[in-house]
Structure formats: C-alpha cells, structure tokens
Amino acid sequence: MPTFTHTSDYPQDRATVFGWHERPGAFTRLSNPGQVTSLGRPSTGLAVGSRQRFRVGMPSPAGPVGPTWVAEHTAYDPGASFEDVMVEGPLRAWRHRHTFSDLPGGGTRIVDDVDYALPRGVPGALAGTVEARLRAMFGYRERQLRGDLALHAALPATPKVIAVSGASGLVGRQLVALLGGGGNDVRRLVRGAPSGGACAADEIAWDPTVLDGSGMAVEALRDVDVVIHLGGEPIGRRFTAAHRARVFDSRVRSTGVLAAALAALAGDGRERTLVVASASGFYGADRGDEVLAESAASGADFLALVCREWEAAAAPARDAGVRVVHVRTGIVQSAGGGQLALQLPIFAAGLGGRLGDGRQWLSWITVDDLAGLYAHVALTPGLAGPVNAAAPHPVRGAEYAATLARVLRRPAVLPVPAFGPSLLLGREGARELALASQRLDVTRAGQWGYAFRHPTLEVGLRHVLSLPG
C-alpha cells in the first residue's frame, strides 16, 4: 500500500497540542465542512474502539454529497500517538497514525502517516489525484490547528461554561467545536427536550417563542458564564409577508427570552455575558462607498429594522448589568453552506460571473474567522456593544466573482443581471440580500485584540475550499 506522510510543527508544548486532539470538537475543526459532515460524535473520544461516522464527498448547498465513512480508533498512547482505520468507506483500506514528539528548544511536531489502498479496479494512475487531495486535506488541518491553538493561547486560560443557541448551524457547529477545543464547558440550547426524552448533560431545553417567562428555565442558566445566541429563521428565501414575520419574530422574540432569563439571575455574584448575532443589514441595503463603523446610523429598510429590534431586545440583560455584545456579521464564506456553496457549482462549471453591475461592496468573512471572533468577544472582558464581523478588506462584487473564478481556475464571463436574484428572492429580497452593498470597518475588532486568520479574499477562499495557494 502507498503511504502518505505530512509533518507539521507548532510552537505549543506537546501536552497542549495532544490535549487539543482529545477534546470534543477536534474532528469538526479538522474537517472541511464542504467535504466532510459528521454523522454523530465519537463514541468514546480517542479511546481504542471509539468510532466516528461521517460523510465525505464534494460540496453542495445541502452539505457534502458522497459515501459514508466509519473510522475506528485502534491504538491510543496518551500524549504520544493515536491511530484509526477505516472500517466502512469508499477505499479498500485506510490506516492513519498520528505521532507527537517534542521539538528541540520547545514546541511539538506531528507526523501523520496514512497507508491507503484504492478500490479494486480503480487505475493506479489515480494515486496522484489521491495524493493531491491528501496534501490539500492535511494542509487545511494544519492551518486549522495552528489558528485554533494561537487563538486559545491569546484568550483567558480559565475555562468558562458557555451556552450556544443555533449550535447545529453552519457557524454554530464550528463555534461549539472551537470553544470546546479551548477547554470550555459548552452546552447546546435545544428546543424543548430532544427526541430521546430528557436533555443530555450538555444540552439546555428552551422555547425561543415564549416571552411570558416559561420559555427559559432560569435555573438552567445559573452556572452559565456566557450565552451566545445564533438562532433565527434562515433569511435567504422569497420575502413574502409570512417569511418577513418569521425572520423578525424568530430573532427578536428569542433574544428577549434569553435577555429576560439572564436579567432574572442578576445580583447572584456571577458575571455573565450575552453575545447576540446581528448582521451588516443593520446599516441598510445600500450605503454607497461610505465606510461603516459601528457608530454609523442604521438603515431604513426591512433588514435594518430587524437588526435594530434584534439588538434592542437584549436591553433587559444589559440594564441588569450583563455584558452584551452584538456581532454584525457580513457574508460568511464556507464550502459547507451559505452564499459560497450556492455559487460553487455555477462557477466550477465555468458559468459564473458578477451579480448586477458588480459595483456593490461585499463585506465577507470566512466561517473560521467568524467563529474565532465570536469566541474572542465572548471571552474578552470589557468588550461590549456592537462589533462588525467582516474581513479587513471588503471587495466589490465584480472583484469577488473574479477572485472566486481565479482560485477555481475557471472563467467568470457570464454576469447575472439584477433581475436574476429577484426571481428567487423577490425585488425586496434581492435588493437587501443578493445586491446589498455595505462596506464595513472592522477597526474595533482589531483594537480589542482579534487577529484575522484570513484578511484577504483569495487567502480566505483558498482556505475554505482547501485549494493550494
């Protein structure tokens, strides 16, 4: 069988690096969400006999399309190595050994050795393609681990108890895994009791639609230090009256439920934080070339109204002394979902191009930087109020299309006329989503110490698509 080897070095000590791999969420953080979807948590971590089920394949708007893979851990030497083999999957054989050693002068070296065999009947000439995909996969894993370890080293070392709503979403999955990798006790807010009955130890039941005090058992948050609220009705649909009402109510009402619960706990001596998602839509659909800092006025359209009321709904917690942060998010870049996953098949086929005239400003952010920024604001004492969440270098729509085509090595010569998005989203939805123009200033995030992993679009796209630089 051929063997693939990847060697990577990290400045942190071996106990820190190996310990990160033992924590919940390591598999999620090391797997590109556009290529791998976990089908459950590892049964018993890295212990011998533990199994992890996941789906591997190509990106699609609904997640990777491809076969199921089951990996089983067959060797585990704490602090030194672990090993897994494929017991179900698309290859004839796969064995992956992870070996950790100390570097002279400090730091850690990881050597990943993969023995694999292609399915019977597959030409051996495809081995080069497999090697290229392995290089891309392990390059992604190295960047993820390096970035996560650096983030955790820069944040307070004392673990926190953190509750997260929307934990199963595109951003929530990465954020929960990232926070868990830092040693925090992460609990998922789930609607009512899970299908299996009572909540698991890391779950908190709630009803985000009920404002009379019964939607959230206050005592369930008694030992929670931070609540991060990501939940809400997906926006990217036709802007009918019913859809607009669901978008508004799901954000404003649920934030009110959490704010009231945290306010009821005020005065018990525990310092608490509420971090609530918001959006660049706060500033309105089109502000021209204006650079929008957090102090800029809100817009006058529907999504601006949603964001204003969304942020205002946290007032009970803020008034009770809870530290409250609003994360005004730009366009999230991930191969696992959202705008990029929708555009990938079109651009990969050579049929992509700019939307409208291409002059609109697109304030973008990779899913890993967004998860990192959420973790940073959640765990940074003193930071409160709105924070713009976008990369430091926004681009115009035409530049975005050209950059995506370039990293995919495809042309971008078929512009989409402005009426195109209107067919799917309606005129209002197209104006406020697909054709929106907001040029966010992210100075505040940097002043509070956040270091962006992917400051430029090409670097960000190559990372989230696992493409070589």
Estimate the crossing angle of helix 367-378 against helix 170-181, to 10 degrees. Answer: 50
Instruction: Identify the pLDDT of residue 196.
Output: 45
Q: Return the closest-CA partner of residue 46 out of 90, 7, 80, 87.
A: 80
Residue 423 is classified by DSSP as: H
**pLDDT tens-digit readout, 156-168:** 889 999 999 999 9
pLDDT by residue (tens digit) across 84-121? 999 999 999 999 999 999 999 999 999 999 999 988 87
What pLDDT, in 10s, does the model give residues 71-83? 999 999 999 999 9
pLDDT tens digit sequence for 418-445 = 777 887 788 888 888 888 999 999 999 9
Phi, psi at 252, each rounded to 5°: -70, -45
For 40-88, write each residue's pLDDT tens digit. Answer: 777 778 999 999 999 988 766 666 678 999 999 999 999 999 999 999 9
Whether residue 393 has pLDDT greater than 80? yes
Phi-psi region of 152 (alpha: psi -120 to 50; beta: other; left: phi over 0): alpha
Cα Rg for the chain, rounded, in angstroms? 23
Question: For residue 448, what are the contacts with CB-CB under 8 A and spacing of at least 6?
Answer: 376, 377, 380, 383, 387
All structural domains of the chain, each given as residue ranges with its CATH number in brackets, are 3-153 (3.30.530.20), 159-464 (3.40.50.720)
Residue-level pLDDT at 446: 97
Share of the chain above pLDDT 70, in %: 96
Average pLDDT, the chain: 92
Rounded Cα distance, 436 and 288, in Å: 10
pLDDT (tens digit per residue) in 118-133: 888 776 666 678 889 9
Q: Residues 264, 239: contact at Cβ < 8 Å?
A: no
Q: What is the DSSP string of 98-118?
A: EEEEEPTTS-EEEEEEEEEEP
Q: Treating both helix axes as pointing N-terminal to C-terminal, what angle do 397-408 and 338-348 enclose, rounded to 10 degrees?
A: 60
- In this prediction, residue 173 has a pLDDT band, given cuts at 50, 70 and 90, of very high
Indicate if the alpha-carbon torsion angle 125, 128, 131, 136 is positive or negative.
negative
Q: Mean pLDDT check: name the lowest of 197-206, 312-321, 331-340, 375-384.
A: 197-206
CA distance linking residue 445 with residue 379, whole number of Å: 13
Give the model's pLDDT for residue 209.
85
Cα separation, 469 vs 461, in Å, equals 10
| Angle, alpha carbons 435-415-350 (nearest 5°) | 120
pLDDT for 20 = 97
Cβ–Cβ under 8 Å, residues 395 and 403: yes
Residues sharing a CB contact under 8 Å with residue 14, sequence separation 6 or more, in sequence order = 79, 100, 101, 102, 108
**How long a stretch of residues is the chain?**
469
Question: Comparing C-alpha atoms, which of 258, 215, 234, 230 is closest to residue 165?
Answer: 230
In whole angstroms, how far apart are CA 220 and each of 187, 192, 202, 242, 303? 11, 13, 11, 32, 32
